[in-house]
Homo-oligomer: A and B are copies of this chain.
Amino acid sequence: MINTNDTARILIEALPYIRRFTGKTIVVKVGGLPMTDPERMRSLAKDILLLHSVGIRPVLVHGGGPQIDVEMAKAGIEVKRVEGLRVTDAETLDIVRMVLVGKTNRDLVAAINALEPVAIGVAGEDGRLLEVEPVDERLGYVGRVTKVRGALLHAFHDDGLIPVVSTVGADASAQPYNINADDAARAIAVAMKAEKIIYLTSTPGLLEDPSDPTTLVHRLTAAEARRRIADEGVTGGMIPKLAACAEAVEGGVGSAHMIDGRAEHAILVELFTDEGIGTMVTTQNEIATENGVTTENGR
């Protein structure tokens, strides 16, 4: 059982963070995989609502790879790839759009609205939120974000709503495109001058020794992240994640976080404790101090 001293300690630690983040935008990227688990959806929905309730302005950005694969299979369409990337022809795009906008997004919106009716689904096409250009003609309708109309999402926040964004964008002629969700989340965070971007992953964060969870790197700078990538000090799936974090911070986002989406309420622990739960990438590694009180981690 937790005694009152521990409770007071946690609250004293948390309250300044709550104060600091009130009114700030925090972008949270969640992949398609976690969304197949209703329990994780509920936990995520609750965290997002708690942030919202204390005046933080969350934006949820989601992918939907596994769900798309299921529908592609149902429709009997073969998935084609060029250099590992999914080719998106008109038929595929139709399914991508139906799944992301009409199903995955819906489920996430519903999970939040079941608790409090403040979530609103937004596709990148709405108000042409995400303007794109083709990435590579061989890939078809796969787009790279060239412009984000962040004012739209700010307006939703002003209206008391939580935007849940599915990463389908459009070019100037309103032709829809599929977009990589990690990149879209970063572009949105940069355009909104977000305080933080949080990537929910399936690892504890960056580990010095990938096989040892106790070697978690709590904090590093964007420059260090770039160096580790160049030095091949990180491997595999961690490379694009770490690069995305570095790019977000370089683009002006206050800090970028990789945290373990499988841990219950990971977002709350990451945001409101000195220690945090995952890896934080910032511009500088200085120890922040506020009112003369040194905060260990400055989260």
Binding site for B on A (CB under 8 A): 2, 4-12, 14-16, 18-19, 22, 46, 50, 53-55, 74-75, 94, 97-103, 105-106, 109-111, 113-123, 125-128, 149, 152, 155, 159, 161, 168, 170, 173-176, 263-266, 268-269, 272-273, 277, 291
Residue ID in chain B nearest A50 by CB atoms = B15
Cβ-closest 4 pairs across A and B: A102-B102, A117-B128, A98-B102, A114-B174
Q: Which of B102, B269, B291 is the one whose CB lies under 8 Å from A8?
A: B269
CA distance A4 to B259 in the complex (A): 13
Q: Which residues of B sit under 8 angstroms from A149, Cβ to Cβ?
A: 117
Interface of A is mostly: helix
CB-CB under 8 A for A127 and B161, given A11-B268, A103-B98: yes
A15 pairs with B53, CB closer than 8 A: yes
CA distance A268 to B11 in the complex (A): 7
B115 pairs with A126, CB closer than 8 A: no
What distance in Å separates the Cβ of A263 from its nearest Cβ neighbour in chain B? 7
Q: Which residues of B sit under 8 angstroms from A115, Cβ to Cβ?
A: 291
B110 pairs with A125, CB closer than 8 A: yes
Q: Which residues of B sit under 8 angstroms from A114, Cβ to Cβ?
A: 173-174
Q: Which of B11, B111, B119 is the one whose CB lies under 8 Å from A126?
A: B119
Residue ID in chain B nearest A155 by CB atoms = B159
